[in-house]
Amino acid sequence: MSIVFDRERQTLTLHTAGSSYQMQIGPLGVLLHLYYGPRCEGCFDYLYLPRDRGFSPNPHERTEGRGFSLDNLPQEYSGSNCGDFRLPSLRLHTDRGVTGAELRYLRHEIRPGKYSLEGLPCAWDRGGEAETLSVTLRDEASGLEVELLYGVFEALDVITRAVRITNRGGQTVTLEAAASACLDLPFGRWDCLHFPGRHAFERQTQRCALPDGITAFSSTRGMSGHQHNPFVLLCDRDATEDAGACYGLMLAYSGNHETFLERDQTGSLRAVTGIGTQNFSWQLRPGEHFETPEALLCFSAQGLTPLSQRYHRFLRQNVCRGFWAGRRRPVLLNSWEAAYFDFDEASILRLAREAKALGAELLVLDDGWFGHRQDDRSSLGDWFANPAKLPRGLGPLVEGVRKEGLLFGIWLEPEGVSEDSELYRAHPDWALRVPGRLPALSRDQLVLDLSRKEVTDYLYEMISALLREHAISYVKWDMNRGLADLYSAALPPERQGELAHRYMLGLYALLDRLTREFPEVLFEGCAGGGGRFDAGMLAYCPQIWASDNSEAVSRLAIQEGTSYGYPASALGAHVSACPNHQTGRSVPLGTRAVVAMAGTFGYELDPARLTEAEKAEIREQIARFRDYDELVRTGDHYRLRSTGESACALWAFVAADKSAALLSFVLPAPEANAPAVHVRLKGLASDGVYRLARADFFGCLLEPQPLSRTRFTGAELMCGGLTLPALYGDAPSAQLLFIRDDA
Ligand code: DGJ
């Protein structure tokens, strides 16, 4: 049993392989949070000593002293306007002017399997993996019932949370905030790791000591965004990759989000994470309910690496779904950086031929193939072949590519619409815009109102017809602007605050319909690169283009930041042309491939501009990746040297059964007479014997003998480590494959 109710002590305890999580139905039915930490038995109510703190109110019914205050006690889901002045999880008002919520226990239920959410992506139980705890609280004044849902994946070491809020009273209630999870950590000093960035510079790793007061990370852009990922980590001040307590809070949501972290007057930390509340409101008439997005919680007592690995496994197995989730993905060549808008049928067929000759398996026709699109100013919405580029239509091109022996993939941006398009001329009210105000343009485009059923139905018909008519194996689902001018012509004034979330529900419903109807089509998520890189999109798209910055050295930090929460199997990464189109930097082809092999691996260049030697190198890269693919996609990922802290990046993938390890190393800027680079491997079998099965160096070796030995015990590689040969040149790199020989 992973969920235990102790009737006598009134505790509910959730156990996973490495963690325990405890709550208690406390005095007056306040649902107290007692513990989240290493797995153990016990009851932790003794930790919270009654204390009369000045200016911390006491519930009125509490007669035996002033020691009990909502303002001081850790809680499972905080109310508002009720004597807890810290971060609320729930804010509301009713049509009679009641504001806030005071939540008291009503009932609970433990059931097998995992709860599900209506219309929202959430983790799934593949069979007997999860148990559900539902605890219902009630706010008397508004009549709301608040059902806290916990999905306990014991073996996978993850607890999911979501909240279902039902109006059981007679008033109309307007939700102003409804968090997915609240986590109180009453003791300790915590650092926070978060992943800020911008377009083409996503998910940089930042670690900061949490100050007193409130720290916030959010998106108000209608998408999870390039700027702040819906994922934060809390860890001990001295936590490292291998030691210290760490907590992860990840939202399976792709729209506006916010995570607030409050270190209060007593040093207690409260984390509240959920849907973004700026411009958010949700009206519940009597009988109606609302469900929050899901939060994925994980704890590690042994540092950041196990925490990341748990998320990787969980996202791969229990969030990504469908045909492609666990399969090897085709190595693709994408036309974007090869041709941008400048192509025709003949040039794409030529690209396909050359891609095939290099060993690629999928040709992706990116932006520009539709309407009369010659640049990014027109035609979004007109998803029919561009007569100037493809006068014979899409059919002959798709067939031509397939005759070359490649799968065919296509780019779509279904959520966008250009003012210069037939779709916009026919349905101007389908675009988001505030009456009486000109809408903000971004990349010269507007956004379709996906909260409207007729809009998502139209998109479904259009895309499904395209997929039925043509042998399309892959769709790159792009989205190139944020949501401004939030107003829906289809919503009454009092429901306009629901629009951003209704938009997401519309998007998820559309993706759900399409991925169910076309399970064998591989959908890759994209939003101007990694603007919507989150667990919500991963439920439909098992891979996401990580960044519009395809330059390998910049990618090191982007991919490393991403790796804290997301698996390599989800990370779209390509080798692109040189000098790079985003930074102008020239990184050797070998190093570009080493970096792209930490993701789904593909190409984004025109083979016609390559020398014969480069083509030969690419053929070898693709063959090598086929050998490494399984290890990268399913292995345990280790960050061995961080780009932020040192002059080089080192990482490894180790097979789950410890039978192989792939060590990758990049030295962005070699120094003269530099100290040797030394690394200790991790995750191997100590007593195993590992053979260096393959060593590739990209750049120049200073010593003629790269490594003096080729057989090592796991203990040697993990305790003594490995001294890497000195490399010089522009951004040199190395890839070493170790295979266990003794098993
Ligand atoms: C943004 C994407 O991230 C790029 O890869 C490319 O598809 C462009 N959009 C096309 O407009």
Task: Establish whether residue 480 lines the binding site of ligand 1, counting it when its CB lies within 6 angstroms of any ligand atom.
Answer: yes
pLDDT, tens digit, 9 for 90 and up, residues 536-569: 999 999 999 999 999 999 999 999 999 999 999 9
Structure tokens belonging to residue 74: 């850790």
**Residue 112: in which H helix or E strand, if any?**
strand 103-112
Mean pLDDT, the chain, rounded, equals: 97
The pLDDT confidence band at residue 340, using thresholds 50, 70 and 90, is very high
Work out which ligand 1 atom sits closest to the CA atom of 604: 5
Find out whether the beta carbon of 368 lies less than 6 Å from any atom of ligand 1.
Answer: no
The pick from 342, 378, 523, 548 for probing ligand 1's pocket by mutation, whose C-beta has the most ligand atoms within 8 angstroms, reads 548
Please give, one letter per residue, the 3-state secondary structure of 127-196. Answer: CCCEEEEEEEEEECCCCEEEEEEEEEECCCCEEEEEEEEEECCCCCEEEEEEEEEEEEECCCCEEEEECE
- The amino acid occupying position 328 is R
pLDDT value, residue 681: 98
Task: Quickly tell me which residue has 């999880």 as its tokens.
Answer: 89
Which of 301, 333, 273, 399 lies closest to 575 in space, CA to CA?
Answer: 333
Pick the catalytic residue from 614, 629, 696, 730: 614
CA of 321 to the centre of ligand 1 (A): 24
On the question of pLDDT at 329 being above 90, the answer is: yes
CA distance linking residue 488 with residue 449, whole number of Å: 7
| Any atom of ligand 1 within 6 Å of the Cβ of 317 | no
pLDDT at 685: 98
Dist. CA 727–CA 709, nearest whole Å: 18
The whole-number pLDDT of residue 646 equals 75
For 305, the enclosing helix (H) or strand (E) is: helix 304-314
Is 614 among the catalytic positions? yes
Helix, strand, or coil here: 295? Answer: strand
The full DSSP string for 44-101 is -GGG------TT----TT--S-S---TTTS-BSS--BSSS--S--SEEEEETT--BSB
211-228 confidence digits (pLDDT tens): 999 999 999 999 999 999
Q: What is the pLDDT of residue 258?
A: 98
| Per-residue pLDDT reduced to its tens digit, 14-25 | 999 999 999 999
State CA 23 to chain mean position distance. 28
**CA separation, residue 499 to residues 256, 286, 483, 657, 708 (Å):** 11, 20, 10, 47, 64
Q: Which residues does residue 11 pair with via DSSP β-bridges, in sequence order?
A: 6, 24
Mutation test residue for ligand 1: of 478, 479, 576, the one with most atoms within 8 Å of CB: 478
Question: Does ligand 1 have an atom closer than 6 angstroms to the CB of 526?
Answer: yes
Rounded CA gap, 549 and 528, in Å?
10
Q: Quick one: pLDDT at residue 65?
A: 84
- pLDDT for 705 beyond 80: no
Q: What is the pLDDT of residues 627-645, one digit of tens each?
A: 999 999 999 999 999 877 7
What's the token pair of residue 676?
Answer: 């040797």
pLDDT digits (tens, 9 = 90+) for 108-119: 999 999 999 999
- Work out the percent of the chain whose per-residue pLDDT is above 70: 100
Q: Is 528 in the pocket of ligand 1 (CB under 6 A)?
A: yes
- Cβ of 529 closer than 6 Å to ligand 1, yes or no, is yes
Give the span between the Cα atoms of 739 and 714, in whole angstroms: 11
> How many other CB atoms are found less than 10 A from the CB of residue 228?
22
Residue-level pLDDT at 291: 98
Q: What is the mean pLDDT of residues 714-732?
A: 95
Does ligand 1 come within 6 angstroms of the Cβ of 601? no
pLDDT tens-digit profile of 349-375? 999 999 999 999 999 999 999 999 999
Q: Tell whether ligand 1 has an atom less than 6 A from the beta carbon of residue 102.
A: no
| Calculated CA dihedral for residues 637, 623, 361, 591, nearest 10 degrees | 60
Q: Is the CB of 548 under 6 A from ligand 1?
A: yes
Q: Is the dihedral of CA 238, 242, 243, 248 positive or negative?
A: positive
In single-letter form, the type of residue at position 480 comes to N
Q: How many angstroms is it from 529 CA to the middle of ligand 1?
A: 7
Q: Indicate if the pLDDT at residue 444 is higher than 80.
A: yes
Per DSSP, 519 falls in state: T
Helix (H, G, I), strand (E, B) or coil at 108: strand
Residue 612 has what pLDDT?
A: 98
CB 202 within 8 A of CB 254: no
Given the DSSP bridges, would you call strands 103-112 and 722-724 parallel, antiparallel or unpaired? unpaired
454 is catalytic: no
pLDDT at residue 706 is higher than 90: no
Estimate to the nearest angstrom the gap between the alpha carbon of 489 and the chain centroid. Answer: 31
Judged by average pLDDT, the poorest of 555-569, 615-629, 696-710 is 696-710
Secondary structure string (H, E, C) spanning 406-443:
CEEEEEECCCEEECCCHHHHHCHHHECCCCCCCCCCEC
Residue 64 pLDDT: 72
Residue 317 is given by DSSP the state I
Burial degree of 356 (CB within 10 A; 0-12, 13-18, 19+): middle
CA of 477 to the centre of ligand 1 (A): 9
**If you average pLDDT over residues 42-48, what whole number do you get?**
97
The percentage of residues in the chain with a pLDDT greater than 90, rounded to a whole number, is 96
At 266-320, the pLDDT tens digits run 999 999 999 999 999 999 999 999 999 999 999 999 999 999 999 999 999 999 9
- Closest by CA position to 690, among listed 742, 622, 630: 742
Which DSSP category does 302 fall into? B
| pLDDT of residue 743 exceeding 80 | no
- Out of 84, 404, 420, 534, the active site residue is 534
Choose which residue among 340, 526, 533, 603 to substitute to test ligand 1 binding: the one with the highest number of ligand atoms within 8 A of its C-beta: 526
Helical axes 552-563 vs 589-596, angle rounded to 10°: 10
Q: Which atom of ligand 1 is nearest to the CA of 526?
A: 3
pLDDT at 647: 82
Going edge to edge, which strands form the sheet with 649-654? 636-641, 649-654, 660-666, 727-740, 689-701, 711-713
133-187 residue pLDDT tens? 999 999 999 999 999 999 999 999 999 999 999 999 999 999 999 999 999 999 9
| 3-state secondary structure at position 646 | coil
Q: Give the pLDDT confidence score for residue 573 in this predicted structure.
A: 98
Tokens of 536: 């919500």
Which protein residue's CA is at the shortest distance from atom 1 of ligand 1?
528
Among the listed residues 125, 268, 103, 128, the one whose alpha carbon sits nearest the alpha carbon of residue 179: 103
